[in-house]
Amino acid sequence: MAAITQARAEHPDYKIVATGHSLGGALASLAAGVLRSQGVTVDLYTYGAPKVGLEGVSKYLSRTDMGLNFRVTHKNDPVPKLPPALLGYRHISPEYYVTSGNEVAVTAG
């Protein structure tokens, strides 16, 4: 937190962005949640990330008053289906779901 506080003081016009792929996306989501809980605005970009928590965590991270969310998934990727919804885990919103290859526009899910 000290490094982020110092960087924000030195570069007040910069944005903070958390990003990651697969497990890294889950870690980026949790990091964004911690920073947002401490009053830091963080934009979040994840690619093929698993679910990171129950409904309360999902709702908190899905709020956009402390940063934007971009959760990108692909229809053939099994990782975003984990852990199972049956256990109560939920994704953050919105989702940008890729249904085919390159050159195809994505849409919010």
| Identified catalytic residue from 43, 58, 77, 93 | 77
Structural tokens at position 41: 């605005």
Determine whether 100 is an active site residue: no
Determine whether 22 is an active site residue: yes
| Identified catalytic residue from 13, 22, 65, 100 | 22
What's 90's DSSP letter? B
What residues contact residue 49 under an 8 Å CB cut-off, 6+ apart? Answer: 20, 21, 22, 23, 24, 25, 26, 28, 29, 71, 73, 79, 80
Distance CA 85, CA 70 (A): 20
Omega cis (within 30) before 78:
no
Residues acting as catalytic residues: 22, 77
